[in-house]
Structure 1
Amino acid sequence: MSKAIIGTALITGASGGIGAIYADRLARRGYDLILVARTAERLEENAARIRAQTGRTVDVIVADLADPAAVSGVSERLERDPAISLLVNNAGITLNGGMFDNAPEALERLIAVNVTAPTLLAAAAGRAFADRKTGTIINIGSVVTFIPETFEGVYSSSKAYILNLSLSLAAKLKDADVRVQAVLPGATRTEIWTRSGHDVDSLLPGKVMDAEDLVDAALVGLDKGELVTIPPLEDDGLWDTLDAARLALGPHLSQRDVAARYRPTASAA
């Protein structure tokens, strides 16, 4: 198989689920790969399969992204390897139970993996890609960003952070010709549900997307140039309306005077 090099994609959480499918799809698009996850055996299995099926070069980095030293090592690879042209910030974990059911260490680990690691990796990739005037950052969020009342609050907050981070990155990197995409899956059939002690098909019968369909749809959104891709959302006008309302708030959010409804009344005085 001929190798039309279009760059290297670094994918976190690539030992299974969404990350492993991104690896397969991007290799078939012509990317060489760097797969990052904490399970060495599964990483090597995925790498061997992709090499055999696509002929691409696939490196692996065994790293626990809750470990600052591991994140630093991956960040250094992003900054010093000029072949890397795409980052997929996919790694993420959830809680087994809710915020009040978990020890502080579990909450800290979720924040480290879901917030700190993707922030530092996006910063490293953003600096490198801006210097090269090319590159793409894909951040995997979640639709629970919009419905925190119905889902575990720490996880949904971490995913809301990913959306805000992506919107800000896109604005800052636009002039450097660096693409940013936030992908917001709905309920998707991956191992994260099993690990959190939930049967997703029982929770949301008939509303669970296959991970392969999710990734394929997200790549269509990338090809269309979308900043925010929500694969299960049929009416994209709903997102457009929400985003327009958010932007319309901007000019009104910082004023010298307090709003009239918060001023003391004469009777209160």
Structure 2
Amino acid sequence: SVSLRNVLFHAMKANRSFHGLRLQQLYYDRIHPSDAGHSVLASAIAHLVKHAALLDLAAGSREDACGVAEDPLPPPMQRRLVDDSQPRVQCYYAKALAGLVSSTRCDGWALRDERSSSGVSKPGYIATRAGAACSFEYRVASSSRRHRIGVGYLKSYRQMGRVRIECSGRCSCEQTLIDAHHSLAFSPYDLRYFSVSLRNDSSAIGAAAMCTLRLTVSNETSSGAHKFKLTALFINQQGERDLFGRWIMNQAIAARQRPRGQEARVSRRSSRRARGRSSPRDTQ
């Protein structure tokens, strides 16, 4: 459940206010929220619903989906408001990326599982030398004139390099450079979005378009090494929106990496922690 007190607690303790509002402005009598308090509570509920919906979208129902889906939501009360015919975001977890790899155009990259010290599976497509290049091919509807690509990758403070991303086939995009090195002493997953456009091709009207993403490890490096680990690809055919950010991606991938049976237990622990630091702000 969503608690207004939990939403406000940390900000009130630190600043004696919540976005400029004092406690007396958010409650009538320290029990019943004021109009402003109800507005904050409504935003917190919307925030919770959005995160749950996007996490379910990232998880999907296929075995090779990026995350592990929680219990399904009940059917919508107004079915006519849900259009299942519209394409949804496509999510390719590390192992599912193998289905996109062009075997004749992939050199220096390999699917490897770098298990943690506790035995947690952490697979990804990995390259370790400059010049290593690999092409990933995917299809989009010809009606998706512009779509959004999300690249999930490992970021770390040592041994990481840079990768250059280019588009070909029926698609074009501005060249994107991702630096997987940072100075902080931890190794999180990160997410980079960029836009892709379909080339005009009158001979292929109505047909699905085959697009290619070419990842090449750059000679330039800020760490002295060239490792790059691709963990997931997200394709949003519905437009140029970033449907979810790094938090959702991390939750989906972490759920995918946990052994079966642990999802519900971890989810309950996460929910208890989140109730103490929930924020109604809509952040990615």
TM-score, length of structure 1 as denominator length: 0.29
